[in-house]
Amino acid sequence: MNLNIYYFINEFNKKEIEKLSSNISIIYRNYEKKKNYSELKDLVTFCKKKRQKIYISNDLKSAIQFNFNGIYIPAFNKNLSFKNISRNNLEIIGSAHNFEELKTKEKQGCSIIFLSPVFENNKKKKFLGIIKANFLKNHSKSKIVLLGGINSKTLKKCKLCSPEGIASISWVKKNGPSINTGPF
């Protein structure tokens, strides 16, 4: 079973992305600084040349304008108007922390839902664990990606949930092109 891998970035660092395998999808999310539209255009152009999927968080206008592969809807966004954007050939993906948010993401039209955080990590001490992640996965019609606390030690535990993929920031950055999830 091969996993889809998603990597979160908050700026366009060409050298960093260049090192990544083209099968690692990129999610651009930056809630701290004003968007640089020239940077967004360059980011999409670069990823498309590499045949790497590129998503943008919470910015439908830029997703359409710059031809991103899709839009990532974070758990805090409860807006249901995204469901009608499939006509723009954008894939809708999003994240959820609990059952209620999972159902909201399904109503938003997310084809892939990131369950987070699955494992303990530096940012959050409260986490779902494999049992709750499996419960949520079994109650969803969408494909499930595990996010939060993914590393070399927890990767094998992910297998117990049979996810569509995994998502990470620090682990992908650290392991980059050497990531081989192969058959787990």
**pLDDT of 14 over the 50 cut:** yes
Q: Give the domain extent around 124.
A: 4-178
Q: Is 50 exceeded by the pLDDT of residue 176?
A: yes
Would you say residue 19 lies in a domain? yes
- Does residue 183 form part of some domain? no
For 47-116, the DSSP string reads HHHTT--EEEES-HHHHHHTT-SEEEE-TT----GGGGGGGGT-EEEEEESSHHHHHHHHHTT-SEEEE-
Please write the tens of the pLDDT for every residue from 54-66. Answer: 999 999 889 999 9
Number of domains in the chain: 1
pLDDT at 31: 79
70: domain CATH number is: 3.20.20.70
Residue 3: predicted pLDDT: 81
User: Mean of the pLDDT values across residues 41-50?
Assistant: 96
